[in-house]
Structure 1
């Protein structure tokens, strides 16, 4: 099938590359000529493990191409996916649907026949209704069905998530549109990936509800970590003890500096705005957002408290800047709030991240970016692990301790055990432990 993907950002590019790997013919459309030029030259606009090789393979096979010309890409397409950005709207936190509606109008002007339009972007309940209205107002003579098909891709593991999904959610009242979606996802359906067919509005809400639940789970264990510190318990033991309950599950029960990224922060706020519009308060989600914002700032204070006394003029090394490993995404990363807290206290900062430093550079002000973890530790008064990159899990701690001015390791991700750290003479401050 010929598939047109409107938007060559994270979701559009990963989805388009994976669809083409299934054998579909995919054209990714983007208004940014620099991005399209880079993609045609084999340069990825984002860091995602395995994406460059997947794109190169399918471009070489003639199944994947890139263009800025929407009209040519839409012609004869069996399905047109909208995968443009829906950032938080400035001033009120609602999802900004400007790009979605612009795409709908441009698609309507370019259509040459009946087709299925699929909203892949994360959008509030009712967005598909409005997209359908736009198309029908502009092209009443055509049969067009609008489908909701939310993505559930984790940055750093997106290709695996797409090809081995927990579920495929399709929101549509049209059997014709459902048949088209079955054909598109047939390679996964044959491998028994569950396809969940719902109404369009239910599908739109599933995405927000899933992200809000996971954000709540992260925030819950972070608050339990604070309680562990107060009562003398170990949060990792508590996490394991409750996570082994099949009703709860172990995922997203790792205490740390709070959630960030492109999805959880904006999606939880957008869900709250939808709830406000329908006069249906979501108190748990509201508390989750507030607690998470406070958590990030508190992690900066944790480092300062561990250093003790007057910290002005002292230096802290940070390991990790991105909001999670295996991505270069800095959106709402906890490191940003931590850096602000340290700088406000008069602390100088050195930092290293395996992939995120170029993206971070314009966001973090006067921070010295260095070449590796050992350089970040040299002559500092404290070293803090902010992002749990694999490269930080087996550091030469003896070398780290010898190079620091003050041997203090603040582990905001609990990737080391107190015994192995303290054995080399480092003072160790983890999260959720009375030590």
Structure 2
């Protein structure tokens, strides 16, 4: 395939390059050239005339819940398991059509979905699965009913554990077993919940979840497999405990203070943030709605401190249990431009997130090419945009209208030219 005469944003540079031809062979980019690339359609070469349009790497999302995006809480609790996976596969294709060619899934049984997509059975993004979110009893990922008896006392796993969306593990031995279970099932990194959240029922935001010994055990078990632990946590105390235990990625962090953000920078770990607005999630009860409001109010200040101290910052969405809100993923990507320059935002949405994903080491099954860039040898994951997002980042918020061509792994997913 040759995409001719495009304006290229390569995912890394501050400036775009005009009048470029991009040659794709198989699943990879073979050449990025300011001179015309030779090719003959009679030899089976597909030529796409870009006519000066904007070509960029495929978008990425560092914090999705594909299964959670696609299903409601009632689906989880009462829906047939086959329907849960069918909805997940359908949402994977919709996500790809929004231009997201790579995602890191932070809770849900997506390793089987990843395998089917990678095999070509279904269309969807590349997936870095965490498998089940690991939580203590009464923690952020405890979706059992209040009257359920914990497993420690002879009770049965909850429905969300049965479908591998969550795993409750208390004490070092069970945490070790839970981490190793997710790795056995195909996790590329481990998701641990270390504090309260808006979506959870039993934990105020200020709770500290998991002891230092339990967290260190998870970090060691993940490290033994060459990968890392990412932690759901909002507060300074929780983040401090996570850093002390050796985690690699703080997921959220919206309630952090300036000292804590500086400490994240000094530790050279990642802050995986989401530009939350209050109406991204809808909670009918006042307690969870209040927690959501408190979280959202911390967004702008944390981004400012992250920029001030040079924190390695990734971008994600964390949309969950409201399938009707899944398309907000595109809106939230464009919203990143409220906190960063357009070019900074586009870098984070492409090569920046990819740098975090690649910390999975040999657990990363996409090591055969670079992610998040338009460069020789990279995976041919590309979007042709009608307009220039470096001038107007809102364009990526409407992929149906503005994404004229989407290519993943050298395969045309969408072409409306």
For this structure pair, what is the TM-score category when the shorter chain's length is used for normalisation? under 0.3
Give the number of the structure whose residues are more often strand, by fraction: 2
Relative contact order higher in (CA < 8 Å, ≥ 6 apart)? 2
Give the number of the structure whose residues are more often helix, by fraction: 1
TM-score when normalising by structure 1: 0.25
TM-score when normalising by structure 2: 0.25
